[in-house]
Amino acid sequence: MAEPTAKPDQHLEPMNLSEVHQTLLRMLAVVTELLDHHGLDYCLFGGGCLGIARHDHGFVPWDDDLDLAVWARDWPRLPKVFAHLPTPYATLLKGTSYFPTFNVFDSSTQVSGATNAESAGVFIDIVPMMVWPGKLAKVIDRVLEVLARTDVSTSPVAWKRLVSRIICSLPLARVAQCVQRHIFFPYILTSDRRLFTQKQGLVTGALGRPWHGKYPFDVIFPTQLSHIHQVPVKIPRHLDQFLKNRYGTKYLEIPDDAKRWRHFQQAYRIVNP
């Protein structure tokens, strides 16, 4: 991502992490209110849950984003829902998968030095979740997703680029895409609806989406209401089990500096004189 630049009549003021967290809290309140108002179920995932459990309903001190999971079946409704976001909030789509991430960001901010998180400002990611019949189905999904790619990977890892070039040179993409669209996707989408009704299966990323962890349905749903600072938010039903699955049994321990993930190096507030 390019370094942020201000317009001639603006300037950028660096934000500290406390200011980033306050920005995220304001945005979280707006986004969850919109989702609730339109009847869209969601659940807090990732580091936000870790902050609730390990940091007394606060943020992980070095964390700089939040992740909310929404059912993939509701994805077609999200553009109309987010059209009601008030200023300064806006959205952009990230990724080219079947269900791309909705990145809700504060347009009065900018970020620099982003890692794999493309955003125009301080953000909350809205990611798609589905119920899967088992781990094997998700493995098949990942294999088909890799085989269906027609663009060579730009990964910094040499062997991944090599494998990507080999796959792209083979006549596999069209066959894999056909299997995805006409066989696998319809089966999984039907299975998702059935398993949701039965309250069974594994909750994880939607079609074409890798996730950290695959969670038994009753670990996540029905969600429970919690809060980050004073902002209400829905979290997994069994938070301890969720966090052990996602981060391991020692999730309450503070990790070394080298293991502390940041999505960007610096956030800025856009100031109009």
Same domain flag for 139 and 191:
yes
Q: What number is the average pLDDT over the span 176-192? A: 94
Q: Assess whether pLDDT exceeds 90 at residue 228.
A: yes
Q: Which of 22-36, 144-158, 249-263 has the lowest mean pLDDT?
A: 144-158
Are 194 and 200 a contacting pair, CB within 8 Å?
no
Q: What per-residue string of b and e applies to 67-106 under the rule 16 or more CB within 10 Å gives b? A: bbbbbbbbbeebeebbeebeeebebeebeeebbbbbbbbb
Q: Are residues 36 and 161 in the same domain?
A: no
Same domain (yes/no): 40, 120? yes
Question: Is 177 within the bounds of a domain?
Answer: yes
Percent of the chain at pLDDT > 90 equals: 69
Same-domain pairing of 19 and 121: yes
Does pLDDT of 241 surpass 50? yes
Look up the domain containing 166 and give its range.
134-200
Give the end of a domain, one of 146, 165, 200: 200
- Give the rounded distance of the alpha carbon of 194 from its chain centre: 24
Residue 34 domain-assigned (yes or no): yes
- Choose the final residue of a domain: 149, 180, 200: 200
Q: Worst-scoring range by mean pLDDT, 12-26, 193-207, 229-243, 247-261?
A: 247-261
Hey, which residues does 241 pair with through a beta bridge?
A: none
Can you tell me the mean pLDDT for 207-211? 88
Identify whether 183 is part of a domain: yes
189, 213: one domain: no
215 and 246: one domain? yes
CA distance 110 to 63: 16
Are both 17 and 112 inside the same structural domain?
Answer: yes
Q: Are residues 17 and 74 in the same domain?
A: yes
Average pLDDT over residues 24-50: 97
| pLDDT score at 144 | 92
Task: Give Cα separations from 65 to 112, 119, 185, 250, 268 (angstroms).
Answer: 14, 11, 30, 22, 14
User: What value does the mean pLDDT take over residues 14-18?
Assistant: 95
Number of domains in the chain: 2
Residue 247 pLDDT more than 90?
A: yes
Q: Which of 73-87, 96-110, 176-190, 194-208 has the lowest mean pLDDT?
A: 96-110
- For position 5, what pLDDT does the model report? 59
Confidence at residue 1, expressed as pLDDT on a 0 to 100 scale:
44
Do 67 and 196 sit in the same domain of this protein? no
What mean pLDDT is reported for the chain?
Answer: 90
Listed range (2-11, 151-160, 201-210, 228-237) with the worst mean pLDDT: 2-11
Q: Are residues 126 and 248 in the same domain?
A: yes
Given a contact cutoff of 8 angstroms between Cβ atoms, the answer to whether 120 and 270 are in contact is: no
pLDDT tens figures, 115-170: 555 568 999 999 999 999 999 999 999 999 888 877 777 777 788 788 778 877 77
155, 183, 200: which is the final residue of a domain?
A: 200
